[in-house]
Structures are given as structure tokens and as C-alpha cells.
Amino acid sequence: MTRRIGYARVSSESQNLDLQIEALQDCEKIFTDKQSGKNNQRPQLQECLKFLKTGDTLEIWKLSRLGRSASGLLELLQDFRDRGIKLKSHTEGIDTDSAMGRLIYGILGSIAEFEREIIRENQAAGIAAARASGKKWGGKKPIADDKLLAVAHFIQDGKSTKESCKIMDISVSSWYRHKKRIEKLMPGPVLEKTPA
């Protein structure tokens, strides 16, 4: 059975929800928020999103009541589409249960994908520019085996682990992380001095 769920929002406590609630009076349940629509983290909107199930219709008085930013609105519409929730906006006459409404969903989905593509392209361009300017990209540069082998030889010659690592500019924790691998490259185990 399809449920009709309403959502109404005004931007501040001093504003009135009566006009929107009157338009949504035939809904089974109405969720209301009195705060800015800049983001989707509004308490009653979040409750409404949890309450909605596949096949439900969310009714709003106007699209701007659902969200003020295009990206936030597109995020919600994509979620509705993915979950099989219909949307009906009274003022704009949008009803995603109709052919025109499904076309609008398709267009909005394409716009959202276009925005994601633009973001990916901008990220790729930024990475390329950073590399071209000589900035390091990725994690720490791996420690060369010859540096680690030198630490092992210093230790075998009687120097402390700390002193050997300091000479080769390697942290003690890095030495211990790579020690087993380096010991396989050596004829025998690396015997470390124990502090007295």
C-alpha cells in the first residue's frame, strides 16, 4: 500500500508552516523543520528519510522546501530514485509517478552524474598540476634495501640499533618493521646489543 508522507520546512522559528501543512493535509504523516535548508542534516528531514519506504510518495509544497542547494536536492532525489520513493511537489507540479516526472528524474540524475564527472576531471587536473610542479604525491618514499642492510651491518659491528638507525637516517620503528625482510638477505641473523 502506497503511503503519502509530507515534509514542510521554513527557515526560522518566526515563520509559519500553515500554508504548507494545509497543502499537505491529505498526507498520512507530516514532518516539519524550522531551520535553514542549506544542508540535508535537518532533524525532521532525517526522521522523514528513515520513515520512507519503497513505494511511498513524499509530498512537498515546493522543491525549495526540500533543499536550497542544487547538490543537496540532487542527492536527495537520487536517494529517492534508488529506494523507489516517489516525489510530488505541489507548486511546481512535479510528480515522479508520471512520465514527465520520470523524465525529470532522468534529467536530474544526468545532471548529478555530470557534476560528479566535473569534480573528477578537476581532481585529475589538480593532481597533474601538482605533479608537474614537483610536489610529491602518494605516501612516504620506501626505504632502500641498501640503507637497511647498512643498519644491519652497523649493528653486527657492535653499534646500538638506535645509533645505527641515526647514522642511516632511518627511524628505529622503520628498522623493526623491515628487519625480518632484511635478515633474509643476510647470511645470519642480526644480533642486537641489549642495553645494560
| pLDDT value for 156 | 86
* Catalytic annotation present for 11: yes
Ranges of the chain whose pLDDT falls below 50:
196
- What's the confidence (pLDDT) of residue 103? 82
CATH class belonging to 4-112: alpha beta
What is the reported pLDDT for 25? 94
- Cα 187 from chain centroid (whole Å): 49
What is the reported pLDDT for 195? 54
Q: What is the pLDDT of residue 99?
A: 85
pLDDT value for 196? 45
Rounded to the nearest integer, the mean pLDDT of the chain is 85
* CB neighbourhood size of 80 (10 A): 20
Distances from the Cα of 102 to the Cαs of 2, 55, 79, 83, 85, in angstroms? 18, 14, 14, 14, 12
Centroid of chain to Cα 162: 41
Radius of gyration of the chain (CA): 31
Residue 39 DSSP one-character state: S
Sequence spans of domains, the chain: 4-112, 145-185
Question: pLDDT digits over 10-50, tens only?
Answer: 988 888 899 999 999 999 999 999 988 777 788 999 999 99
